[in-house]
Amino acid sequence: MGVGPLSLHEKFEVSFNEIIWRIMMRLIKHIVAFVSVAIFACVPVTVFSADKDVNMDRAQARIQDMHTKLKITMAQEEQWSKVAEVMRENAKAMDTLTQSRMEKSKSMTAVEDLNSYKDVLTTHLEGVNRLIPAFSTLYSSMSAPQKKEADELFRHGPSKAESKYSKN
């Protein structure tokens, strides 16, 4: 671009680049929102934290809360323990990833930052893929009231009262 007034082509290029940037940001926002809701049971809403085991702590609190709200029976304990284990594994993976991201955050280039963020999204997706079969097995053993509660928990994610999982 020159120093003087922008040509029509330059205006289009600036406008087009701005539009693409906004679309990318909205897309990322929607992907993060979707993945966060879908994976909430595995990884709490706040992904980035300087605390080393914050995702593990939140996952454990979420596991206990879900166990209570879903009224897991003795007959369902084995299936529930598989769900809880996947949730813990997912939280551990996120703790490792986010700790690494935080340690490198001040020195990353923009491209490295985007790739690091992609790794976070990929880890979320992998976590959902691990959770689905474990939770599906448990869900199929649930009573109608348990299924209704599970549907509500996953449909709406954390409520204001459950904000204890987020340190924001």
For the cut 80, the answer to whether the pLDDT of residue 107 exceeds it is yes
Domain that holds residue 18: 8-165
Burial class (CB in 10 A: 0-12, 13-18, 19+), 131: buried
Distances (CA, A) of 16 to 12, 19, 61, 164: 6, 5, 45, 42
**Tens digits of residue pLDDT in 85-100:** 999 999 888 888 888 8
Residue 1 lies in a domain: no
Residue 2 has pLDDT above 80, yes or no: no
Helix, strand counts (H, E) of the chain: 5, 0
In a domain, 56, yes or no: yes
Using pLDDT thresholds of 50, 70 and 90, give the confidence band for residue 12. low
- d(CA 126, CA 109) in angstroms, rounded, equals 25
pTM of the model: 0.62
**pLDDT, position 94:** 87
- DSSP notation for 62-118: HHHHHHHHTT--GGGHHHHHHHHHHHHHHHHHHHHHHHHHHHHTTT--HHHHHHHHH
Q: Is residue 140 part of a domain?
A: yes
**Containing H/E element for 128?**
helix 110-140
Instruction: Kindly report, residue by residue over 16-73, the tens digit of the pLDDT.
Output: 667 766 776 666 665 655 555 444 444 443 444 445 566 677 888 889 999 999 999 9
The total number of structural domains in the chain stands at 1
